[in-house]
Structure 1
Amino acid sequence: MRRPLIGVTTSNRSGWRIFPLVALNIWLAGGRAVRWGAGRRSDIDGVDGIVIGGGDDISPTLYGGQLRAESRLDPDRDRMERRLVEESMAQGKPVLGICRGSQMLNVALGGDLDQDAYATFTDSRKYRTILPRKTVNVVEGTRLAGLAGTEVMKVNALHSQAVRRLGSGLRVAARDEGGMIQAVERLRDPFAIGVQWHPEHLFYARRQRAIFRGLVAAARAGAENRAQLPEVDAEVERV
């Protein structure tokens, strides 16, 4: 059976070290990956699904926020990724958003972000590490819960912003101990999920690999013109 091809967006600055990790997770899940960056060709017609990867803050001009002097922005990447999410939704191709990518998924679907999330959620402990130290509670009954279970999850954290108002068709799939949104997911096809942490660094953890398995299962179903969400749910039974 052909491995679904997944387009992976990365920063032009740090993508050389992040992409191999994402590609490894996609391969372990049964897919194969191609790297995309701003200024490179990124054609949604040529892939079966996409990963919107981590990186710099999203420009607040995309959702009506305030520009901050300390923010590091990448407007070319913003435009590329917003287009890719919109085209994926229009063409019925699944999306996994990682950290910044989770935020872009939300923004592209009409939501917005809390630009200083830890000031809003004062009970949320702030970490900046790729080690699994942050506690996340997965919401029961969500697709993320089906893939990764509802046990308390330990994840890494590198973000300062977070999803605030949900984009169209999304629901909350996980929060941290302080109530800050840590994962969102789409309620209908095409499959789309965004996680605020970096599961590519946690490839040794079964629950984190399951997120990539869900994406690849959806991509395979979509490529075969089958409903994606039932295939993602069936993936749980195979593990």
Structure 2
Amino acid sequence: MSKPVVAITGPQKGAFGPRFLVACAVRWYGATPLQVRPGDDWQQLRYDAVVVTGGHDIDPVLYAAEPEVHPKYDPERDALEAAVIDDALNTGLPLLGICRGAQLLNARRGGNLFQELKSHRKMTSNRWTVLPLKTLKVAADSHLCKLMRADNCRINSLHNQAIDRAGDGLVVTGRDLDGIVQAIEDPSRPFLVGVQWHPEFLIFSPRQRRLFGALIEAAEERRPTKP
């Protein structure tokens, strides 16, 4: 049987590092990465799972909010990834949203975001770092807890926005020490997970790699078997 294919969405240009590392994690577990960019005819592509990578903040119009800050938006990417997420939700494809990907997944399910986090932080730093310097508190009996094999671990932080109200069917399964949402999942699905940190920068850690392994396992179980 052919290998499962994992679509990796991202911007038209740049983000080489995160894309490359996600692709490495996908190959690690025996799947084939497929890079998908704005302008691609994604409806003609065939894939078995999706990773929506991090990047620029999403336009607040996507969760019916007025802009409170004015970062750089990427409307073409927003449109592509919103369509890919909606398709995955409608067809049951396994999906992992990373950072902005988790935020957009939440928005597509009707949730909203905090547009800035500095004022919400008391115990944690607002400094961005790829190093695992922040503490993740994981909800017991969640899919994430089973993957992490612990109720807390260390994560990195590369975001200035985060999930406020979880969308329909999504459960908050991870928070940092300030209570800021770090992970969401849909317990009714084999694999529908969003994480606010960047596990691709931590693939030296087995517990971080298991996020990608579980995604691909769900994709393999969903694929038709040979008669």
Q: TM-score, normalised by structure 1?
A: 0.89
The C-alpha deviation readout for 1:102-127, integer Å capped at 9, x for no partner, is 10110111111111133134333323
How many residue pairs end up in the alignment? 225
Are 2:81 and 1:75 aligned?
no
Superposed counterparts of 1:206-217, under 5 Å: 206-217=206-217
Contact 2:117 2:126 in 1 (8 A): no
User: Partner residue of 1:114?
Assistant: 114
Q: Partner letter of residue 102 of structure 1?
A: A
For 1:198 and 1:119, locate their aligned partners in 2 and report how far apart those are by CA, in whole Å: 22
- Indicate the RMSD between aligned Cα atoms, in angstroms: 1.6
Q: Percent identity among equivalent residues? A: 35
**AA paired with 1:142?**
S
Post-superposition CA distance 1:6-25 (Å, at most 9, x none): 00001223233321110000
Do the aligned residues in 1 keep the contact of 2:69 with 2:115 (CA within 8 Å)?
no
Unaligned segments of structure 1, at least 5 residues = 226-239
Q: Distance in 1 between matches of 2:98 and 2:106?
A: 12
**Contact map agreement 1:138 1:151 (CA 8 A) in 2:** yes
- CA distance in 2 between partners of 1:205 and 1:141 (Å): 21
8 Å CA contact 1:118–1:124 kept in 2: the answer is no
SS of residue matched to 1:34? strand
Please give the per-residue CA displacement for 1:166-217, whole angstroms capped at 9, x wherever unaligned. 1111101100011000000011125210000110111100000000011001
Partner deviation per Cα, 1:33-63 (whole Å, 9 max, x = no partner): 1101111222376100100000000000111
List structure 1 segments (4+ residues) > 6 angstroms apart after TM superposition: none
Letter in 1 for 2:20: P
2:38 is aligned to 38
The amino acid of 1:58's aligned partner reads: I
Tell me the distance in 1 between the aligned counterparts of 2:121 and 2:139. Answer: 18
Q: Secondary structure at the match of 1:166?
A: coil
Letter in 2 for 1:163: I
Q: Which residue of 1 aligns with 2:196?
A: 196
- Taking the aligned partners of 1:72 and 1:217, their CA distance within structure 2 comes to 35
1:7 counterpart = 2:13: no
Shift of the alpha carbon at 1:144? 0.5
What is the aligned partner in structure 1 of residue 47 from structure 2? 47
For residue 76 of structure 1, report the CA deviation from its aligned partner.
Answer: 1.0
| Unpaired segments ≥5 residues, structure 2 | none
Counterpart AA for 2:202:
L
Aligned-partner Cα distance in 2 for 1:126–1:78? 25
